[in-house]
Amino acid sequence: MLTKYSRIKKEGGNNCEKKTQLISLIILLALGISPANADRNQTSQNLLINASVELVQESENTHQNKKNKSSEGDFGYENPINGPDKWGELDPDFQLCSNGMEQSPIDIKPMEVIPADLPDVRYFYQPTSVHIVNNGHNTLQGTYDSGSFITIDGDEREYDLQQFHFHSVSEHTLAFGAHFNIEMHLVHTSIDGEVVVVTLLIRQGEENQALKEIWDNMPKNIGQEVFLPAESSFNAMDALPSDRRSYRYRGSFTTPPCTEGVRWIILREPIEMSAEQIEKYRNITQHVCCSNNNRPTQPLNGRQVYFDTVDNSDF
- The structural domain count of the chain equals 2
On whether residue 34 sits in a domain, the answer given is yes
Residue 159's CATH number: 3.10.200.10
Q: What percent of the chain has pLDDT over 90?
A: 64
Give yes or no for a contact between 50 and 23, defined as CB atoms under 8 angstroms apart.
no
Task: Check residue 315 and give its pLDDT.
Answer: 56
Q: CB-based contacts of 35: which residues, under 8 Å, 6+ apart?
A: 25, 28, 29
Interval 251-264 mean pLDDT: 98
On whether residue 2 sits in a domain, the answer given is no
- Please write the tens of the pLDDT for every residue from 86-128: 999 999 999 999 999 999 999 999 999 999 999 999 999 999 9
Q: Check whether residue 181 and residue 285 sit in a common domain.
A: yes
On whether residue 301 sits in a domain, the answer given is yes
Q: Check whether residue 203 and residue 279 sit in a common domain.
A: yes
Q: Is the dihedral of CA 54, 59, 60, 62 positive or negative?
A: positive
Interval 69-83 mean pLDDT: 73
Active site residue 287: no
Task: Check residue 290 and give its pLDDT.
Answer: 84
Catalytic residue among 63, 131, 137, 287: 137
Q: Check whether residue 287 and residue 223 sit in a common domain.
A: yes
Which domain, by its residues, includes 156? 104-308
Task: Check residue 277 and give its pLDDT.
Answer: 98
Task: Check residue 43 and give its pLDDT.
Answer: 43
pLDDT band at 283 (very low <50, low <70, confident <90, very high): very high
Q: What value does the mean pLDDT of the chain take? A: 81
Report CA 36 to chain centroid distance, whole Å: 45
Q: Check whether residue 113 and residue 216 sit in a common domain.
A: yes
Task: State how far the alpha carbon of 188 is from the alpha carbons of 128, 232, 248, 269, in Å.
Answer: 15, 22, 15, 20
Task: Check residue 148 and give its pLDDT.
Answer: 97
- Please write the tens of the pLDDT for every residue from 48-70: 334 433 433 443 343 334 333 33
- Please write the tens of the pLDDT for every residue from 173-228: 998 899 999 999 999 999 999 999 999 999 999 999 999 999 999 998 888 999 98
Distance CA(141)–CA(185), nearest Å, equals: 10
Interval 147-156 mean pLDDT: 96
On whether residue 90 sits in a domain, the answer given is no
- Please write the tens of the pLDDT for every residue from 7-42: 333 333 444 444 444 444 333 333 343 333 334 444
On whether residue 302 sits in a domain, the answer given is yes
Q: What percent of the chain has pLDDT over 70?
A: 75
Q: Check whether residue 156 and residue 259 sit in a common domain.
A: yes
